[in-house]
Amino acid sequence: MSNAASVFRVDGKVALVVGGGSGIGQAAAVALGQSGATVVCADVNLAGAQATADQIIREGHRASALSMDITKKESIHAGVNGIKAAHGKIDILVSTPAINVRKRLLTYTDEELDRVVDLNLKGTFKVTQAVAQVMSDTGSGGSIILTSSVRSLVVEPGQGVYAATKASLVQMARGFAVELAPKGVRVNAIAPGVIDTPLTAPIKNNTEWYSAYSNRSALKRWGAPEELAWPIVFLASGASSFVTGTVLFVDGGWTAIDGRFEPPL
């Protein structure tokens, strides 16, 4: 029988965390390891993935690392097939990689458009498709967590293409959720607010910009990667057994608060 402690555990599960070498992916990988999963940390930066795996191992949990470029189908299949051969299954997928070319839309080049779409949208689709196939074939079900953003709902100058990909990931998660439900596979998206990661480093390095983003959220601060990790564990665990095809916003109230002006009430 499940209890308040065990329902959030993922003991015996095999988790593939793509983007596990840094930021939200790294934090999610560590949290999943602490929650009982055998974690495979995948990243285009193998050294970063290995550093995360080493941290998990030092804490007394099970982990390994592999190089994976989700813009390349052969890289995805080599990694996924290797995990299947080693563990016989994949129970959890967390996919976090994304890039953002911060430019106004009228100045975007075809090459820049392709870079953002190829990683954020097509890359996420390819790795989800490959892992979902393994989950479907093994018949053991699973949980897939894609990384959207508050930009799926709101946008500012310079983030139009990035926002479009993040909005598309929401519908992608819903589409996979509907089609994979008969196989016992749940698919959800998590939508971070402004989180202190390598992706947001250009903002953090600009004091005015950093402060403006802090003041934009209801909690008046940035989030830490670890504050995304435990919601991801929730979506991966049995605690969310009836949750699929939805978006969990972890944004410090960014999408709840209206504007930057405090009315004199």
Closest CA to 44 of 18, 25, 26: 18
Sign of CA dihedral 22, 27, 32, 36: positive
Q: List, as one string, the DSSP characters of 163-206.
A: HHHHHHHHHHHHHHHHHHGGGTEEEEEEEE-SB-SGGGHHHHTS
User: Is the Cβ–Cβ distance between 225 and 24 less than 8 Å?
Assistant: yes
User: Is the Cβ–Cβ distance between 62 and 36 less than 8 Å?
Assistant: no
CA distance 229 to 52: 14
CA distance 107 to 115: 15
Please indicate whether residue 210 is annotated as part of the active site: no
User: Which own/partner pairs from 201-205 qualify as long-range (CB within 8 Å, at least 24 positions apart)?
Assistant: 202/102
Which residues form the catalytic set?
162
